[in-house]
Structure 1
Amino acid sequence: MMNQKTTDVESLWVYYTMGYYYNKVNNSEQAEKALKKALEINIKTRHTYSSHIKDVYKALAELYKKKNEGGKAYSYLKKYMEEEGRSDASRFAAMNKATEDFMLEVKQESDWHKNDLPLFIALSISVLTISGVYVRKMISGLKQKKNTLKEQTDALKNRVQTKQLEEITELAKRNDSSFLLKFKELYPDFIKELLKINPDLENSELTFCAMLKLRFSSKEIADYTFVQHRSVQQKKYRIRKRLNIPGEIDIYDFFENLTE
């Protein structure tokens, strides 16, 4: 490829193959370089529906999964599934077009004599039957494949969320100023719902609500924020009033169910 002039599609295939190979022999650095090069070629040529680009996405997902980079692995697996969906649509469209062309060709070649009609009907039934069987098999295979991919995607997504949850929990325990920012990234709807109820909530109150969402006890909140236990109880009372939480509702359950 380096010594001869090759098309972009051929180069993309070569880089993908190199990346796939290096990934299999656990040379993650070379695998990442080759696969990223394949992506660059795809972007440059804008071959959005290249037959290899979905495989590049899948290879990158597997690479980052090995490297325990769950966020990147999930992102590329999601892109792979999107490309698969486009490929499936293209395959179905091509099959329908081929069937229609065949039927039209048979119809045009026939003079529509009485004797030709049974033959035309028989051919039509055969084509439709074969197409139907093929479609059913294809749909069954695609469903199974997509279910497997969905399970992999959900597993990766859960791993990413678990890791993020562990990180923001540690930030809360250290009383880190970036806690609320990271919390918003993991639970964006939670903060939005709080502000819908009371737009005047301050950051300190949002931070307190976030800690209750994570089910920290009053003692834990007092220890992590360096205040007295009584102060935390008073804050809980004020938050109830600010958010109109009825006295009979457990405050932890309120925050747990806020975005459901």
Structure 2
Amino acid sequence: MNNKAFLTILSLVLFLGLYNPLNAGFDFFRLEKSANPEIDSLLQVANHFYEIDNYDLALQHYNNIVEKSEKENYSKGLTQAYIGYASIYFIQNKLDVSTSYLLKAKEQPYANENPEEMYNISFREGLNLHSLGLYDEAVKKYKESIAASNKITDREDKLNKLVGVYINIGDIFQLKNERDSAFYYYKNAYNSQTTNLNNKFTSSISISELYVENGELDSARKYLGFAKYYAEKLNSDFTDAVLSQINGKYLSANGNFSEAIISYKKSLILNEKLDRSSPALFKLLSEAYHEKGEDKLSNAYLKRYVEVKDSLEEAKKRNLKVPILIANKDNANKIQKAESNTQLVIVSFGGIILLIFLIVYLYVKKQKKKTVTRRNENIQLKKKLNNAFDEVADLAATNSPNFLSRFIEVYPEFYNQLISEYPNLTTADLKLCALMKLDFSTKEIAEISFSSLRTVQNRKYKLRKKFGLETEENINQWIQNIQIQSLVPA
């Protein structure tokens, strides 16, 4: 064998040995560390702060872990820190931020090599979709987490993770008002051999809530007692907040509204401590005060419920990016897997792999160009449909005195319908309606009008009363639906 042939074969052997088709790269260049005692110790500290609900300190430690892990090229540290970020931002209802960190974790080699981490990522993706009410998509992610858990060798850990998924699927059935199915999943979870206290608490408190909804208060009290036992063991603000809320519902169902109010307020304080939005508690408090005949307090909490719900609607616009982020990543993973299998076969034929890289590069470049072109076309189309929108928006943003008169010229149908159906509207009311029609947020309106957020929220609340809107109806969406034809200005 001549030297050239030997070198060619040796190069091919090295190529095959170093090339990793799952991560589409070369392991030689990664040189990842299998363990880093310093960073592993920091992870334990960060996770401890997370478990005791001290999220600020947990975030500080995760930041430190990411910085050190990037310098040390330590994939385990990055994976677990990203999942830690995602867990905290989920609790704070920042679902888009939570999802972005889960996608970062999913890209790490350590995550792909460890079924425990892949379970955590898929499970938390399911939680984010679950929280948005995208139940079918959430179930798909929960099923992915079940598939990942089946690869876990530790039987106890596997069982605890499966039970966690069962509880969440039960919650989806409860939210869909399919109580028999919800009972099935909750009771299977509670009666399992799980050693995870969070699973025991969540399944028992969920069963208790279902019994309250069914009016079976003796059974509700029984499982509420179980939940209290596990909550004491966990000693967590989060579990205490949930326990207090369900305990309040049980007390209300028994007609003990005074104690129910105390329990709701305790839950409210704990949620505020955790920086968690809790509009349902304001509604429950309003209902309890109404039953006691204290209408002034009932109306005050109902007003607060509407305000928080409106701000959550605005936050939901941001969080609606979550399914798009996940879908894009899933599609990319499918493409990557297909390409990797193809590349592994092509590698055996030598340098043809370079051609594949070139094709992929040109394809991605072409797709990006198409995306940019499509976006530009959409922008141009929007400009053609509403060539006066930018002018009116600029007048609004600068708080120009000409704003309202110009808006009326551009949207005459909208203005005429408002004043004909609601003649008691003031000029300030009409200006606020105009800003909402232009899709300015509550925060933006406050900045434009040099007012506080609370002032703008109060003005919106008064407008709701003038329009006679139901509590559940979103005023911003209601304004958008007035005179749909007026979206194309004169």
TM-score, shorter chain, exceeding 0.5:
no
TM-score, scaled to structure 1 = 0.38
TM-score, scaled to structure 2 = 0.21
| Greater RCO structure (CA 8 Å; 6+ sep) | 1
